[in-house]
Structure 1
Amino acid sequence: MKKRWMILLFCVFFLTALIGYTVKFLRENDKPKVVVVLKELDSQYWKIVKGGVEKGFRDFDIDGKVLATHDGSVEEQNDILKNILKEKPDVVIVAPISASNIPILKEFDKNNIPVLLVDTNDLWENKTSYIGTDNFELGRKAGELLASQLQPGDEVALPLFDGFLTNQVFSERINGVKYSLEDAGVTVLVDTIKLRDELSSVKKAMTNILQDHPDVKGVFAVNDIIALSVFEVTKEHGYKIPIVGADGVIEMVDLIEDGTLTSTIAQNPYDMGYISVETAVKVIKGEKVAKNIDTGIDIITKDNAKQQLDFLKQLLK
């Protein structure tokens, strides 16, 4: 009799455990599935985007994952997207490297999988939404920021790498900054160099501008990595002039916090990541979402640089 009770008790425990596991399995498989494909994950910027995405996964109880290329190539990103298409997630969120990604993204649309673009917009009409910066507006604000430190008739350098002109994000920023500077009566000096290495090209372009226009009074760089390279060149040539970039990376904010540089424009990559997941949840629920969701920009000066540094360092721990 005792042996039978032991067997019965064991069966009860086994069934309870099995039911618990099954419920957990079903619950996990009922979670919305969202896949995020970024350009890369080596830089501060994309690590912060990933941080926002993962916070969104936790807050909205999403079965999600983040993938990225190793070499930043369109071909690798397309291969990643082809594999994801086979998984049939509820939503895919992509930071497209170029318009060459659109043919594979159209396949998601054909399979009724909504596509959200993050960070980098495209004119593709069937995207569900773009979540990120209005890059023309970023450039316009950067131009206003620079102009506020200059006088009409002053010259501002815009050193470029040849590839920037075909990069939609950078070309929009360039158009925006030109609009504001020219409106303020500031002359924009452009020098474009085509070398193998992007940063070397920008340094060479900046060196050329300083040699040909020694009275230059300021610089706009399309992002803060470029701005830091420009700073090295101006420092070598003995210039102390305002250099405004974009993104708000730690090294740039450090220079502003210690008074070496005056200001920069910061995007909100953490918000981009988080809001893109939040938007994916709304799409899955059948809610209507805006075609363009502007995640805004911040102007970083000495007054708020320390606060921004603390925020960035906490995210990148």
Structure 2
Amino acid sequence: MKKMGLMLLVTTLVFGVVVGCSSQSALEQEEKKQDDNIKIGLSVSTLNNPFFVSLKEGAEQAAKKAGTELIVADAQDDNAKQLNDVEDQIQKNVDILLINPSDSKAIATAVESANQSNIPVITVDREAEGGEVVAHIASDNVEGGKMAGDFILEQVKGKGNIVELEGIPGTSAARDRGKGFHQAVDGKDGVEVVASQPANFNRAKGLTVMENILQSKDDIEAVFAHNDEMAMGAVQAIRSTKRDILVVGFDATDDAVKAVKKGEMGATIAQKPSEIGKTAVEVAVKVAKGKKVKKFYPVELELITK
């Protein structure tokens, strides 16, 4: 009788261990399955800009490494299209949204729509002026603008007229880069910003705007462009006049870095867009898993000179 009782106890214990192991394995498999099934939506302002192409590629690499699905939509710098893109991603039941706004104010409607659908939103490179955002991934654009302004002051030895080519009005990147730049140069004796005009982060627009400024202003020492695309347009306009004007951009795209090495541009501020995209996906995965995240993840900047 004792032997039978002992055998029954052993059998029960063994069965319990097997069941326990099977249950743990099932839980691990389910957890892995949940990780693999995380669906991230990425709405990019435009893929007609090398900076945002690099950002997208960084996000794609991080998503592949994490085993998550990434759905990318190109807003083509069209606010209405971006709102439709975000609504489409909401309908596709994404677990989390990464939004790089074409316009910080206009995107608020899309963020609020995601909020109502209980889909967390992370903004990338540019902020949203409305709605609830769990985190923001970007460079410190104010600091970058100040770095550009300080470099220009040093190169012109604190004297001369400066032109500012602004980004898309309404974007946080344009606002913050301009803010940092003016913190550096405003109020400095001998220095004047003689023109501040938007060129919408676009090379062709930068060329046209700079051509018009060159026709109306004879004495220009330097140009600060809120991104490298506008800076390259400015370089092209200046080249045709054969004038010697310092140009500083922002983003450190391949074309701009080459221009700096050739001496066509004085400097560019390196933002590391691929790292921004990568960090955005990594933070998104944490949010999707219910982990706590910080409100702001800064990606470091670097001044690139010859």
Same topology, TM > 0.5: yes
Alignment pair present for 1:218 and 2:219: no
- Which residue, out of 57, 70, 95, partners 2:100? 95
Q: Deviations over 1:97-142 (max 9, x none)?
A: 2222222321221222110111111233511111112222221111
Partner of 1:306: none
Q: Which of 175, 178, 182 is the equivalent residue of 1:174?
A: 178
Matched, 1:67 2:73: yes
Task: Provide the TM-score with structure 1 as the length reference.
Answer: 0.78
Q: Which residue of 2 aligns with 1:261?
A: 265
Change (3 A) 1:117 1:223: same
**Alignment partner of 1:215: what SS?**
coil
Unaligned regions of 5+ residues in structure 1, if any?
1-22, 303-317
| Structure 2 equivalent of residue 236 of structure 1 | 240
Q: Which amino acid aligns with 2:176?
A: E
Distance 2:35 2:247 in 1: 50
Distance 2:295 2:35 in 1: 29
Q: Aligned letter for 2:87? A: K
Question: Within 2, Cα distance between the matches of 1:89 and 1:79?
Answer: 15
Q: Is the 8 A contact 1:256 1:263 kept in 2?
A: yes
Which position in structure 1 is the counterpart of 2:15?
Answer: none
Q: What residue in structure 2 maps to residue 81 of structure 1? A: 86
TM-score by length of 2: 0.80
**C-alpha RMSD of matched pairs (Å):** 2.7
Deviation, structure 1 residue 29: 8.2
Larger Rg: 2
Q: Structure 1 residues 191, 299: closer, same or farther in 2, change over 3 A?
A: closer
Q: Is the 8 A contact 1:191 1:205 kept in 2?
A: no
* 1:142 corresponding residue in structure 2: 148
- 1:3-18 counterparts in 2 under 5 A? none
- Shift of residue 202, structure 1, vs aligned partner: 4.1
Determine the structure 2 residue equivalent to 1:47.
53
Structure 2: how far apart are the matches of 1:175 and 1:237?
30
Match of 1:283 in 2: 287
Please tell me the residue identity of whatever aligns with 1:44: P
Q: What SS does the corresponding residue of 1:72 show, helix, strand or coil?
A: coil
Instruction: Tell me the amino acid that sits aligned with residue 247 of structure 1.
Output: D
- Taking the aligned partners of 1:80 and 1:197, their CA distance within structure 2 comes to 21
Q: d(CA) in 2 for partners of 1:204 and 1:284?
A: 45
What SS does the corresponding residue of 1:97 show, helix, strand or coil?
A: coil
> Using the alignment, how far apart are the partners of 1:266 and 1:172 within structure 2?
16
Deviation at 1:204, TM superposition (A): 4.8
- CA separation in 2, counterparts of 1:147 and 1:260? 18
Gaps of 5+ in 2: 1-28
Report the CA distance between 1:174 and its aligned residue. 1.5
Q: Aligned partners of 1:52 and 1:33: how far apart in 2? A: 17
Hey, what does 1:151 align to over in structure 2?
Answer: 157
The one-character-per-residue Cα deviations of 1:202-250 (angstroms, maximum 9, x if unpaired) are 4454345444543321111111111111112222222222200111122
Which letter maps to 1:134?
D
How far did 1:198 drift? 6.2
Distance 2:196 2:215 in 1: 12
Count of residues in Structure 1 that have an aligned counterpart in Structure 2: 275
Relative to 1, partners in 2 of residues 1:83 and 1:191: Cα closer, same or farther, differing over 3 Å?
closer
Matched-pair contact (CA < 8 Å) for 2:52–2:273: yes
Partner Cα distance (2:169, 2:196) in 1: 12
